[in-house]
Amino acid sequence: MIIFNKRHLFILCFTGYLAMAGGSLLAPVLPEMIDPLQTTAQAVGLLMSVFTLSTAVFTLALSHFIERVDRKRILVPSLLIYGLTGLAAFFTDSFGILNILRFIQGISVAGMMTLAFLIIGDAYRGIDSIHAISRMSMSLAIGAITAPLIGGILANIGWNYPFLFYLLSIPFALMVVTTLPETREQKQNLTHAGIREAVSSLKEFPVIYTIFLGFSIFFLLYALIIYIPFILKEMFDFSSGKSGLMLAIEGIAVVILASQMRKLSHKFSMIRVITMGFFLVGISMLCISYTTSIVSIFLLLILFGAGLGLAQTGIDAQIIQISPARTKGGILSIHTCMKYMGMSLSPIILGIILSFSGLQIIFIISGVFGIGIALITFVLSKRFDGFIAHSG
């Protein structure tokens, strides 16, 4: 097994950071794009959804051959495409071309996100794997929270300046080429059957349920990211900048809890950590729907971040633990796909609900959903213990 050091893990975590940040970077900038792109408030949201849907679809396409190709032969081109499409987007003022570029960018993120987790699965085992995944989860959380702040700051210069953020991936790709070890074993060419065999592994309930948990936690994350600024604006007249700072508080809690995952794994199984995470997420969102105090919202965002840190890190660690070795790449691709489906469907489903109700109902439904997932997972936890023991 290849020995990874802290520099190698940093490369993987920064890859995950770039991939996650790419989705939410434009969120605060969308209103500023309507006039220069000659589009509407309803249509400009396509720049978000076309990105996440493209990532979801192409993670599945990638899973068909991911085990047959060296890791860096996918990761490096993905990083280069990510940066070059950002550069091209900076220079265009066509809404149609911009959507095409975002679609292509989503393809590159599929490679970046899946390969980052797959290389961790190649290089780490046991408790070291949990440590590496906790660092990756911290990076994803930082990406999801800081990207809107970065996008908003760059948009003060001009509506298209946030696209320059993507250029970071080009020099970073050179670092990957020269520094990151190749982790795929050559004998894997003969032993992996791609997406079909990965799909067959979904017959195992713990595998498919863990993938569902990944979908669910990102569904709830985007429910909060998208709708908490509306709550803050409606109740306290917060600007987008102040709302971004409030979301950053949630991100800090994610980082703190994710950093403790290695210690928690000594005391509790991953499925119990995930259960607690969903419970905290659900309770916080349910309480947000009833609060009228900014201090209460501040504390509830910390609670949400704590739950997210537990659930997201636990889910990512568990999917690596329970995935059969010969289909790990395909299963991680499906897992990544469902994360992005959660991000994509959250604003669609909750937006439909919002058109018939109000923000309070959105948070009530999200809170009940999170608590419900926690209760179901608690009931099913014994099945995971036995499966992990059998797999190990």
3-state secondary structure of 370: helix
Domains within the chain, CATH numbers bracketed: 6-177+187-391 (1.20.1250.20)
Write out the two tokens for 316.
Answer: 């990512």
152 vs 199, more confident: 152
Q: Kindly report each contact of residues 297-301 with a partner whose C-beta sits within 8 Å and lies 24 or more positions away, as own/partner.
A: 297/228, 297/231, 297/232, 297/246, 298/246, 298/249, 301/228, 301/246, 301/247, 301/249, 301/250, 301/253
Q: What are phi and psi of 26, to 5 degrees?
A: -90, -5
Q: Select the highest-mean-pLDDT range: 17-21, 23-27, 279-283.
A: 279-283
Tell me the one-letter amino acid at 262.
Answer: R
For the record, the structure tokens of 145 come out as: 């929270």
pLDDT for res 274: 93
Report the mean per-residue pLDDT for the chain. Answer: 83
pLDDT > 90? residue 32: no
Report the pLDDT value the prediction gives residue 41, as an integer from 0 to 100: 62
pTM (2 decimals)?
0.78
CA atoms of 251 and 246, how far apart (whole Å): 9
| CB atoms closer than 10 angstroms to residue 132 | 26
Mean pLDDT of 112-123: 84
Spatial distance between the Cα atoms of 171 and 173, rounded to a whole number of angstroms: 5
pLDDT digit string, tens, across residues 232-287: 878 888 766 677 677 777 777 877 777 777 677 777 788 899 999 999 999 999 99
Task: Give residue-wise pLDDT tens across range 164-205.
Answer: 999 999 999 999 999 888 777 655 444 445 556 666 667 788
> Which amino acid, one-letter code, is at 95?
F
Q: Which residue has the higher pLDDT, 309 or 80?
A: 80
Estimate to the nearest angstrom the gap between the alpha carbon of 168 and the chain centroid. Answer: 19
C-alpha span between 380 and 279 (Å, rounded): 15
Query: Mean pLDDT, to the nearest integer, of 15-33?
Result: 83
86-113 pLDDT, tens per residue? 999 999 999 999 999 999 999 999 999 8
* Of 77, 101, 72, the residue nearest 88 (C-alpha): 101
